[in-house]
Amino acid sequence: MTIQLLDIVVFSHDGRRRILSLNSGRVNIITGASKTGKSTLVDIVDYCFGAGECRVPEGPIRRSVSWFGVRLQLKTGQAFVARRCPGPRALSSEDCFVEIADEIVVPEAARLRQTTNSKGLGALLTGWTGIHDNIHEPPPGQTRQVLSANVRHALALCFQPQDEIIRRQQLFHGASDNFFAQALGGDPGEGGSAALQRRKASARLIARFPSLR
């Protein structure tokens, strides 16, 4: 099951909206001069998909925007998801707005309010992607934590910001998360530091796929 991204929206403090519309089912190429916010689009979408931290850099965008939003095409119907831009000293906001209908029109800024939090938003997004309730319990004797796959894990195959593309040691978005170490058989609770666990996980990945050397 797929979700198509139809619009990326930013709302200013004075109620104005700026909408970037995309063509669903096609490759969209966004061009522009340096330092105009192209890379920030990935951070906005990631934040609206329940990221624990808003990675939109401090600067003009953070100071000018009150809410970030995305309009989505679901298997049945459409959804609009918005999340409040965090304050200057905050990493994120729990104010999330969700609207679902057969066809969605991007709402006016005055309509935005908290209808759920990041946990509820994550559960909705996970369901829309077709990920059903699941749980993985490690075999007896291992200290890995119980893991439930969700939409945040799936995003590792959807995002690749430019700073990750140039890293020779990193293959997937968010590869430093414990999820990858667990998925590859690592155990964050054993064998020392998280960095050591990532090295072990990378070695196992290269052993499975020698072409990555």
State pTM to two decimals: 0.76
Beta strand 96-101 with 78-84: parallel, antiparallel or unpaired?
A: antiparallel
Vertex 130, ends 124 and 131: CA angle to 5°? Answer: 80
Residue 200 has what pLDDT? Answer: 62
Residue 190 has what pLDDT? Answer: 45
Position 164 confidence tier, pLDDT thresholds 50, 70, 90: low
What average pLDDT score do residues 180-191 get? 47
Residues in the chain, how many? 213
Q: Is the pLDDT of residue 13 over 60?
A: yes
Residue 188 has what pLDDT? Answer: 45
Distances (CA, A) of 174 to 7, 36, 38, 165, 198: 24, 24, 20, 12, 12
Residue 169 has what pLDDT? Answer: 65
Q: Is the pLDDT of residue 195 over 60?
A: no
Please say whether the beta carbons of 118 and 96 come within 8 A: yes
Q: Is the pLDDT of residue 30 over 60?
A: yes
Going from the N-terminus, what domains does the chain have, and what CATH number goes with each? 4-128 (3.40.50.300), 151-212 (no CATH)
Residue 175 has what pLDDT? Answer: 57
Residue 59 has what pLDDT? Answer: 86
Position 11 confidence tier, pLDDT thresholds 50, 70, 90: very high
- Distance between CA 187 and CA 181 in Å, rounded? 7
Position 15 confidence tier, pLDDT thresholds 50, 70, 90: very high
Report percent pLDDT > 90 for the chain: 48
Measured in degrees and rounded to the nearest 5, phi and psi for residue 53 equal -140, 140
